[in-house]
Amino acid sequence: MEFSEVAAVSGKGGLFKVVSPTRTGVILEALDGSKKKMIANMQSKVSILSDISIYTTDEEGAVPLEDVMQKIHQEFNGDTGLSATSDPDELKAFLKFVLPEYDESRVYVSDIKKLVTWYNTIAATLPELLEKKEAKDDSKEEQSSDK
């Protein structure tokens, strides 16, 4: 599975696996272990995680969510000790530690809460997503050295 197969739906808590597209939307399955399925139609705001970025103050202006989550995983290895109910100052300090160049005026505490919640969900249900980039790079190096 990849970040392009995981989605968030506005107004619905949690993350969803994209099962398949339909003529009028997409079929999603909850990642929380309940295996509940839902159909998100054209009016639903579905955000694919690979399309989400976090604003930064550097030249690029944003960092992909996947890169941020992989940095979090490298530092905390699945246990940030935070939740959506954590103190706002603690959440800001956490993101400042992981991504020092994040744009404090455009990234709100609610965004950091979502990041922490999504990271905790992915670390619990799909930890291979957080390590995949390194594994892909290693397998490419092995293939090129075999030739």
- CATH number of the domain enclosing 24: 2.30.30
- Give pLDDT tens digits along the chain (147 positions): 888 899 999 888 889 999 988 888 899 999 887 888 988 888 889 999 999 999 999 998 999 999 999 999 988 888 888 888 889 999 999 999 999 999 999 999 999 999 999 998 888 888 888 875 544 444 444 444 444
Q: What's the domain range around 44?
A: 3-49
If one counts the domains in the chain, the total is: 2
- Domain assignment of residue 102, yes or no: yes
CA distance 62 to 14: 23
Q: How far is CA 3 from CA 97, 103, 127, 133, in A?
A: 23, 23, 11, 11
Residues 45 and 82 in one domain: no
115 to each of 21, 88, 97, 108, how far by Cα in Å? 26, 13, 14, 11
User: Rounded distance, CA 50 to CA 59, Å?
Assistant: 20
Query: Is there a domain that residue 146 lies in?
Result: no
- Whether residues 18 and 59 fall in one domain: no
